[in-house]
Amino acid sequence: MKRTLIAASALAALVAFGATEASAGNGAVIQQFGRANSTSALQTGHKNRIVMQQNGRGQFVKAVQYGLRNYMHATQQGNRNAILTDQYGVNNYAAIGQDGKFLSASAVQTGANNVVGIAQIGKGHTASAEQSGSNNALGIIQIGKNQNVQTYQGGNGNVSLVIQAGF
């Protein structure tokens, strides 16, 4: 009995210590309203935030953040949309929107003080943004249907904006 109590106490202390060190000050809010939606979030570091919301059905969001003060916000409304984000570093921010159906967006950021964006309305769009370095910004707005964009920025202080419209 005494060994079991000591083992349980040691295990609880290790778990508590590991959880405190790995996720101190991190937060996540996830809401799903439709059916067959799935989310996955992993945060390691300090003061990282994730907010996700999905309304339709058959949607998927995966967010991974390693570092300090990274923020991610994702919203999907329609059906069968997917969002993938990976952020590594300090003070990176990615927003992403999406409204219609069959929309796919991905954002990968490494470094510090990088911002993405991405807002898609309509159906069949694919947007991919990758940034490495510091103080980079990006845009991407797609309206209509079946439009694709892939962007990559490396280095420091880069700015990019892509707007595609049409139905």
Q: Using one digit for the tens of pLDDT, what is the confidence trace for 93-114?
A: 999 999 999 999 999 999 999 9
Question: Is the overall model pTM greater than 0.85, yes or no?
Answer: no
Number of domains comprising the chain: 1
Q: Which domain holds residue 56?
A: 26-164
The H-assigned helical ranges of the chain are 2-23
Q: Would you say residue 12 lies in a domain?
A: no
**4 pLDDT more than 80:** no
R_g of the chain computed on alpha carbons? 19
d(CA 71, CA 154) in angstroms, rounded, equals: 20
Q: What is the spatial distance between Cα 152 and Cα 165, in angstroms, rounded to a whole number? A: 21
**pLDDT above 50: residue 16:** no
In a domain, 1, yes or no: no
Phi first, then psi: give them for residue 49, nearest 5 degrees: -130, 145
Inside any domain, residue 121: yes
Does residue 6 sit in helix, strand or coil? helix
Residues ≥6 apart with Cβ < 8 Å to 50: 27, 28, 29, 30, 41, 43, 63, 65, 71, 72, 73, 74
117 inside domain: yes
Does some domain include residue 75?
yes
Question: Is the pLDDT reported for residue 3 higher than 70?
Answer: no
The answer to the question of residue 159 being in a domain is: yes
Residue 54 forms part of a structural domain: yes
Range among 6-15, 17-26, 39-48, 139-148 rated most confident: 139-148
Answer whether 144's CB lies under 8 Å from 122's CB. yes
Q: How far apart are CA 162 and CA 154, in angstroms?
A: 17
The confidence score (pLDDT) of residue 30 equals 84
Q: For residue 13, tell me if it sits in a domain.
A: no
Tokens of 63: 């967010």
